[in-house]
Amino acid sequence: MSVVRDQRGLSGIALVAAVVAIIVLAIIVVRTCLIVVPAGHRGVVFSRTGGVRGKPLGEGLNFVVPLVWSVELFDVRSQTYTCGAQPYAGEIPGGEPVHAKSRDGQEVSMDISVRYALDPEQVPWIYENVGIDIIGRILKPQLRSHARDVVAGYEGVTIFSQKRREIEKQIGELLAQSLAKNHILLEHLLVRRIAFSTEFQSAIERKQIAMQDAQRMQYVLDKMRKQKEERIIRATGESKAIALKGAALAAFPELIRYEYVQSLPEDIKVVIADTRTIINMSDLAPTTEVQSPSARR
């Protein structure tokens, strides 16, 4: 009887173990059949029997064939990649700055940031033709190549002073075309810093100072020229006025007397006897005080 009970106990344990194994195997199978694609990502399926599947897996829970399919996740959100000497927070570092030469042979160093995103529906094509190293194989070499080509078309002085935005725009246009061929969308390109050699920057600063001094001197010369022109105009006007006055006095001599009278103080009484005689009444008045009859008494 004890042997029978032992056999039954062993059979029960084996049954429990079998059930547990089945449950564990089921969990493993379920987990290998399901995959969660995070928000902002797409999953690219590679089938060992058919290669890369053309339709990507969307966000959320997706069914896959275990042991046959493998899934590679791609981030399709906007990302920023920067080539620059200093790191920028939240951006993918791209190593050293972009080095280029201007048309006149000046060494130019640039920090450039690129904001880009992968086309969500084309990530299978990207995976099959480019791979997962998108920055190393496409973005970085294309950015550096286009930046060098654009900078080579400008003189160093113009890059330093006035052509920065124009250069930025041209690099962006060329890079957008190259990335579009690989289903990568360029959202924005920004040239964050342009630097030259120390000698060239010093020469530019000296030239700017000289230009400012020249502009200041030109302003002074223009001011002096205008003052001279004003004096000439005023002197010419006065000369014409004197000439006209002289002609008028020659034609009308009585104007001399009239001007004489006009120049006398207001409290002086003047009598014009005729057209040729002017009598000043103050000359005719007695200088001594005249006493009244009552005073003489």
pLDDT in tens, 233-288: 877 877 777 777 677 667 666 666 666 666 666 665 555 555 555 555 455 445 44
- Same domain assignment for residues 65 and 86: no
- Same domain assignment for residues 83 and 192: yes
In a domain, 145, yes or no: yes
pLDDT for residue 296: 45
* Cα-only R_g, the chain: 51
In a domain, 2, yes or no: no
Q: Between the CA atoms of 254, 256, 257 and 260, what dihedral angle is there, to the nearest 10 degrees?
A: 160
Mean pLDDT of the chain: 79
Residues 6 or more apart in contact with residue 216 via CB below 8 angstroms: none
Average pLDDT on 196-204 reads 72
Alpha-carbon distance 147 to 97, whole Å?
A: 11
Number of domains into which the chain is organized: 4
Burial 258-269, CB ≥16 within 10 A → b, else e: eeeeeeeeeeee
Ramachandran angles phi, psi of 133, nearest 5°: -85, 75
- Same domain assignment for residues 181 and 230: no
In a domain, 103, yes or no: yes
Judged by average pLDDT, the poorest of 53-57, 86-90, 152-156, 175-179 is: 86-90
Containing structural domain, residue 192:
79-196
In a domain, 104, yes or no: yes
- Same domain assignment for residues 90 and 174: yes
Contact in structure between 168 and 147 (CB atoms under 8 Å): no
Q: What is the bridge-based pairing of β-strands 278-280 and 270-272?
A: antiparallel
In a domain, 62, yes or no: yes
Average pLDDT on 40-47 reads 94
Structure tokens at 162: 């006035």
- Same domain assignment for residues 87 and 185: yes
- Same domain assignment for residues 119 and 159: yes
